[in-house]
Amino acid sequence: MDRTFHHRLTVSSVLLAVMLSFLALSFFWHPSGNNALVGVMIVILVIVVVEREIHTKYVLTAGCLRIIRGRFSPTVEVPLGDIVKVERVNGRLLLVTYVLIVCGDGRRVSVKPYNPCDFVNVLTEKINKVRLQ
């Protein structure tokens, strides 16, 4: 059975979107050709950031963890058999808590699910089931 966890919005991601929006507004406020072009590029960046924050989800299937980061970013698949360590990390900057997943090849993936305790419990259960098979 597949289990889906949604992404948790953080203060830093909301502040990034707000600051980029004000930056784009300031470029549009002073009219010139270069400012309008830079303003349009910043608006596109705001759209990508907001879309990524809203549509990110983590899907746990029978054999892999699928990280879907929106329509503009590629989907990342991590096989459950490759996961070596799963831990909850309390960040120091802006008090961001995330889950760090360490794979066997040295790759590290950080995720911010809405309910990190439940995510870690379900992920470790699925990893144990894969290892027993």
pLDDT computed for residue 62 by the predictor: 84
26-39 exposure pattern, b = at least 16 Cβ within 10 A, e = fewer: ebeeeeeeeeeeeb
> Angle, nearest 10°, between helix axes 33-55 and 11-29?
160
Nearest 5°: phi and psi at 130? -65, -40
Domain with 8, as residue range(s), is 3-132
pLDDT computed for residue 129 by the predictor: 87
Classify residue 8 by its DSSP letter: P
Number of domains observed in the structure of the chain? 1
Concatenated DSSP letters of 9-36: P-HHHHHHHHHHHHHHHHHHHS--HHHH
What does pTM read for this prediction? 0.84
CATH number, domain at 30?
A: 2.30.29.30
Query: Which residues neighbour 98 within 8 Å (Cβ) at sequence distance 6 or greater?
Result: 88, 89, 91, 110, 111, 112, 116
pLDDT digits (tens, 9 = 90+) for 14-36: 999 999 999 999 998 887 878 88
pLDDT computed for residue 96 by the predictor: 80
Low-confidence ranges of the chain (pLDDT < 50): none
pLDDT computed for residue 73 by the predictor: 87
